[in-house]
Amino acid sequence: MTVLVTGGAGYIGSHMVWELLDAGEDVVVLDRLSTGFEWAVAPEAKLVVGDVGDIGLVSSIIRKHKVDAVIHFAGSIVVPESVADPLGYYENNTSKTRSLLEAVVRENVPHFIFSSTAAVYGGAGLEPVREDAPLKPESPYGVSKLMTEWMLRDTAAAHGLRYTALRYFNVSGADPRGRTGQSTPGATHLIKVACETATGKRPWMQVYGTDYPTPDGTCIRDYIHVSDLVAAHRLALARLRAGGDSLTANCGYSHGYSVLEVIDSVRRVHGADFDVRIAARRPGDAPAVIANSELARQELGWRPIYDDLDRIVADALNWEKYLQHTASDSPERRRRKRRLSLEATRPRKKNFQPNAV
Ligand code: UDP
């Protein structure tokens, strides 16, 4: 049996591929490489370059590789871009997932894991938000993901598919072993921006607003290490394979940090100061968004092991330094280098351990 990872050449997807390979799974990646990178795909995974909306292609991959589970990351993720181009987001995130689901149902794939988002809640608050909180997405991005959740629910009810939708909070950090990380240029996420500034890629960065109703006036977010996030997916897969019901669950640590606390952490871990400027609020930012993650802990047996801001920042910084070190390499050269440097070092577990974290 093989796991199909869509978007497996992207940030979170490439971590998922390593996580699955480490657990002894066979993996096929479907990615059109619009924002992902061929070199980011672990060498032992098969990469198919193509579109998740291509029903014929997805069906043939499922048949050829005997896929029993799809983990679906492919999609567009930039909130302001979704405001400017809602139809593009409904096409990429919603319509194409509809096509993907059609192939999944046609080919009788029993398990589906979907990357959803805290953006389905809209402006939360200082209290951790539970899955049964009102759903009020404030951007086309959030709406596109919520519509997909609903599509999944209805498809599962009609066709016997079982799924897990994981609502991500602020995913950050990089693989602790340095095998992959966040590589897309023009990043907007706080930890990535701060690491780029610390390492000299940007001359300065901005804090968007210091007049929020929070203790230090800056926004609070629940930053979760990408490795803990992909571990939750691995546990979700094991649960579905063991017969578990469909589930929608938050993935966050249930506590948050302010923008200034994050920047302090980057200064501390990097060991040097960098230029930070106070700016106006960024439109659409909620004062605080924090997960209640009890459900994931109970249902998946999820036990995060990287719940430490400095650790998240250290891994993100290491990856940033690696990226800048290899900046002049061609993708092919970079891929070859990674393959060579990883080949000797990677142990491979024989058996899948459903409950190991
Ligand atoms: N932020 C900031 N400067 C930046 C990037 C982000 O002050 O260069 C703030 C942003 O306004 C928000 C928080 O950091 O309050 C987290 O933003 P990010 O884009 O990382 O994630 P979001 O929660 O918007 O998905």
Rounded Cα distance between 313 and 47, Å, is 30
Q: Provide the 8-state DSSP code for 130.
A: P
Rounded Cα distance between 223 and 256, Å, is 7
Q: Provide the 8-state DSSP code for 95.
A: I
Q: Could you tell me the distance, in angstroms and rounded to a whole number, from the CA of residue 189 to the centre of ligand 1?
A: 6
Q: Is 162 helix (H, G, I), strand (E, B) or coil?
A: strand
73 touches 115 (CB < 8 A): yes
Domain that holds residue 28: 2-343
The pLDDT value recorded for residue 141 is: 95
CA dihedral of residues 259, 262, 263, 266 (deg, nearest 10): -160
Mutate to test the pocket of ligand 1, among 12, 170, 189 (most ligand atoms within 8 A of CB): 189
Annotation marks residue 141 as catalytic: yes
Residue holding tokens 């951790």? 128
Rounded Cα distance between 83 and 144, Å, is 11
> pTM of the prediction?
0.92
In a domain, 350, yes or no: no
The CATH number of whichever domain residue 36 belongs to comes to 3.40.50.720
Q: Could you tell me the distance, in angstroms and rounded to a whole number, from the CA of residue 59 to the centre of ligand 1?
A: 38
- Give how many domains the chain has, as a whole number: 1
CB under 8 Å, gap of 24 or more: what pairs does 182-186 form? Answer: 182/11, 182/226, 182/316, 182/319, 183/11, 183/37, 183/40, 183/319, 183/323, 184/10, 184/11, 184/35
In a domain, 191, yes or no: yes
pLDDT tens per residue across span 116-141: 999 999 876 789 999 999 999 989 99
Residues of the chain whose pLDDT is less than 70?
124, 328-357
The pLDDT value recorded for residue 351 is: 38
Q: Could you tell me the distance, in angstroms and rounded to a whole number, from the CA of residue 225 to the centre of ligand 1?
A: 16
For the record, the structure tokens of 232 come out as 């939750």
The pLDDT value recorded for residue 357 is: 27
In a domain, 356, yes or no: no
In a domain, 115, yes or no: yes
The pLDDT value recorded for residue 283 is: 81
The pLDDT value recorded for residue 325 is: 84
